[in-house]
Structure 1
Amino acid sequence: MTEVIAPAVVIGASGGIGAALMEALAEEGVDVRGFARSFPGRDHLDLTDEASIATAAASLSGPPVLVVVATGLLHDREAAPEKSMAALDPAWLARQFQVNAIGPALVAKHFLPIQPRAGRTIFAALSARVGSIGDNRLGGWYGYRASKAALNQLIRTLAVEQRRRNDRSIVVGLHPGTVATALSKPFQTNVVADQLFAPDRAAVQLLDVLDGLRPADSGKLWAWDGAEITP
């Protein structure tokens, strides 16, 4: 990363990518603040609890120039990605939308208004290539695909509104590739070795992508290698 962006905020700082982003930014000398559901006190933020999001935003000592939502839900102890329509479950679908789309949107609701009204600012949320409708050739993973597609649309809509507030703002989705974290662990055996990234490498790649973006790139989904992904 060649451009130091400060201050910065990472939502989901306890996860593999979020923690790596925190470390990478700190190594660049960036004043970074991390929030997570598992963090206590002033650093607590639960994507399913809007009050905690509002409290976190209000606790910042200054306007954040960079906000990264590094969260995502693909599976948990009780549910896995759906392989067919027969596996569709309304409660699981609702939870994936809550974490993957609604939560980041609520973060934007409370954090975008406190970003500076002038100068280059960035709001980024981790999305996924499988959220691309045009790229869906394999099917399956209904909830994850649909919730990430919803996130991509939300990103686009947020970018339009934020541009009216600050014409140098950047609001984007980021596809980190397959990263060796708990989210991808059940599926790592199917990934080519050089396409399974360690969290620290993934973090640097994502920050490099953000460093290269300009206001005209706002509202889009970008892959870890800087390539644009068609929604």
Structure 2
Amino acid sequence: MADVLILGASGGIGAALCAAHAARGDKVTALSRSVDGFDVTDAASVDTALVGLGPFDRVIVATGALQIDGAEPEKTIKAITAKAMADQFAVNAIGPALVLSHAHDLLKPDGVFAVLSARVGSIGDNKIGGWISYRSAKAAVNQIVHTTAIELARTHKQAAVVALHPGTVATPFTEKYLGRHPSVSPDEAAGNLMSVMDGLTADHTGRFLDWAGKEVPW
């Protein structure tokens, strides 16, 4: 049995991860904004919720948003607004960074710390443009994860800190944007992500991996 902390536990993927871990006998600590008032955009909320918790075998940051306050992903740089971009960074980059600032205490020396990212955050894989604010925030969180992994390796030498792309998952988060893209259910995505996390070692720390465990270019 593993001790697991899941943040963003009320979302589609987060809830599925909670259920899957609990089903195999893990002890799950679940936090979300809708149930617990856990708000990754508020440093005080993050500190209040996380100080004194842990250490855990596995920490998963499953928070995130694609559309915030009605601002849809931009099709062109001409559509950029300062507020929409700032909101994306607050939720998808700064929020996970605030959580990662507690990683030294939250994670066991040989634990796994996974932050859900997105393939669209890959600069090397970007062939079609668009979605500037969301892409940029996810690229930023990838850098944050990679940098944290370097630091944490000094004290948690057997730990793995990674960014994970869950694939295209059919949730309310994505339903307007699925189009012709193949998607999987939250339960299937959770199973895929758990299989990847189960196989992680310290050799994987600082990497950006997809739902099949394959490297995603930065």
TM-score by length of 1: 0.91
User: Structure 1 residue 157 and structure 2 residue 147: aligned?
Assistant: yes
User: 1:134-145 counterparts in 2 under 5 A?
Assistant: 134-145=124-135
Query: Does the C-alpha gap of structure 1 residues 71 and 114 become closer, same or farther in structure 2, counting only changes over 3 Å?
Result: closer
User: Structure 1 residue 68 and structure 2 residue 60: aligned?
Assistant: yes
User: Structure 1 residue 230 and structure 2 residue 212: aligned?
Assistant: no
SS at match of 1:91: helix
Q: Which runs of 5+ in 2 are unaligned?
A: none
Partners in 2 of 1:209 and 1:162 — Cα distance? Answer: 20
Query: Does the C-alpha gap of structure 1 residues 111 and 53 become closer, same or farther in structure 2, counting only changes over 3 Å?
Result: farther
Matching residue of 1:50: 43
Partners in 2 of 1:34 and 1:112 — Cα distance? Answer: 19
Partners in 2 of 1:109 and 1:39 — Cα distance? Answer: 23
Let me know the Cα RMSD of the aligned residues.
1.2
Conserved? CA contact 2:115–2:164, under 8 Å? yes
SS at match of 2:90: helix
Deviations 1:118-165 (A, max 9, x none): 3x2111110011111011110000011110000111111000000001
Of 80, 83, 89 in structure 2, the residue corresponding to residue 88 of structure 1 is: 80
SS at match of 2:33: coil
Q: Measure how far apart 1:198 and its partner are.
A: 0.4
Q: Measure how far apart 1:75 and its partner are.
A: 1.0
Deviations 1:49-98 (A, max 9, x none): 111111111253x4112110002111135110000011100001000001
Conserved? CA contact 1:57–1:111, under 8 Å? no
Partners in 1 of 2:175 and 2:93 — Cα distance? Answer: 22
Conserved? CA contact 1:159–1:218, under 8 Å? yes
Deviations 1:159-194 (A, max 9, x none): 0000001110110000000001111111123213xx
Matching residue of 1:147: 137
Aligned AA for 1:12? Answer: G
